[in-house]
Amino acid sequence: MHKLILVANWKNHPDSLEQAKFILKGLSKKSSVYKKLGTFIAPPHTFFESVSHSSKNFAHLASQDISLEQKTCTGSVSVEILKNFGVRMSIIGHSERRALGENDEIVSKKIKTALRAGITPLLCIGEHEHDAEGEHLEFLKNELKHSLLSLRKHDLVGKLMIAYEPIWAIGKKAKDAMQPNDLSHTVIFIRKVLSDLFGREVALKTPILYGGSVGPSNAEALMSTGISGFLVGHESLDPKNFGKIAELLNK
Ligand code: PGA
C-alpha cells in the first residue's frame, strides 16, 4: 500500500521568515511521524530555502502553483527553477487561484507543464455548493474532465494526485468541514469518473486527498472514508495541530 499523504498548504503565510522558522522548528519535533507519511510542505517562494533546509529529513518541498510562461517573464518563477530547487509536487488549480480567473484550460496546461518537468501535479477540484440532489457531482465530473483535457492514460498512471476540496468547506472550523459519509460517496464518485475517463489503473493508482477545514478533531473520522490523505491549510501553520493530524494518519 502507498504511504498516506499529508500536504501543508501555507498559502501566503506566515508574514515573516522568523515566523516560518518558528513553525519549522515545531514541525521538526515530530519528524519521525512525518517520515512515515508522504509529507509535503508548500510554502511561499520566499521561504523555500528555509523549508528545504529545515525539513529535508522528513518532508518534500512543494509549490502552490506553477507558471506557464516559457519565455523570459518578469515576475514569474519558471518550472525549471522549481524543479532544480527540488520541488517534487505542485498544487494546481486551487480554488483560490481559480477565483482569480484560472479556468480548466489553464489548469490542464499547468498539469502538462508539471508532468513534463517531472513534478507531480496535485490537481484541486471542488464544488462551490453542495446540494442534496447531487448536482455538485456533475460539476465535479466536468471539472475533472476539463482539467485533464487531452491527457492520456500513460501520462497519468502513477503520476497524478487529486485533492478534493469543496470550496464551501475551506477555511472554516472543523465542524463545518465535509461530513465523512458525504466524503466517502464523493471519493467513490471521483474514482468512477477517473475510471470512465482513463481506465481502472489510473482510477486505482491516483491518490485522492481531502482538503477543507481538516483539523485534529475531524481527521480520524475523515480518514475512515478511504481517502489517501489531506491537503491542510490553516491548521498546517500550527505545528502542534499539524502534528496531531499526522499522528492520526499514522494510527
Ligand atoms: P483549510 O484550507 O485547511 O484552511 O480549509 C485548505 C486549502 O485551501 O487547501
Q: pLDDT tens digits, residue range 140-170?
A: 999 999 999 989 999 999 999 999 999 999 9
- Residue 1's pLDDT is what? 55
| Selection from 39, 40, 38, 50 nearest residue 14 by Cα | 50
Mean pLDDT, residues 45-53 taken together: 98
- Which pLDDT band holds residue 133 (cuts at 50, 70, 90)? confident
Mean pLDDT, residues 238-250 taken together: 97
Residue reference for cell 467513490: 188
CB 9 within 8 A of CB 231: yes
Atom of ligand 1 nearest to the CA of 211: 6
Q: Which residues, 6 or more positions from 150, have their beta carbon under 8 angstroms from its beta carbon?
A: 108, 112
- Residue 56's pLDDT is what? 96
Candidates 127, 143, 165, 235; catalytic one:
165
- Residue 163's pLDDT is what? 98
- Percent of the chain having pLDDT more than 70? 100
User: Is 165 a residue of the active site?
Assistant: yes
Listing DSSP states for 181-221 in one string gives HHHHHHHHHHHHHHHHHH-HHHHHHS-EEEESS--TTTHHH
- Residue 126's pLDDT is what? 98
Residue reference for cell 502507498: 2
How high is the mean pLDDT of the chain? 96
Q: In the Cβ-directed half-sphere of 121, how many Cα atoms lie within 13 Å?
A: 28
Q: Is the CB of 176 under 6 A from ligand 1?
A: no
Of 6, 89, 128, 232, which is best to mutate to test ligand 1, by the most ligand atoms within 8 angstroms of its C-beta? Answer: 232
Q: Which residues, 6 or more positions from 66, have their beta carbon under 8 angstroms from its beta carbon?
A: 79, 82, 90, 92, 110, 113, 114, 119, 121
- Residue 70's pLDDT is what? 79
Does 91 score more than 90 pLDDT? yes
- Which pLDDT band holds residue 244 (cuts at 50, 70, 90)? very high
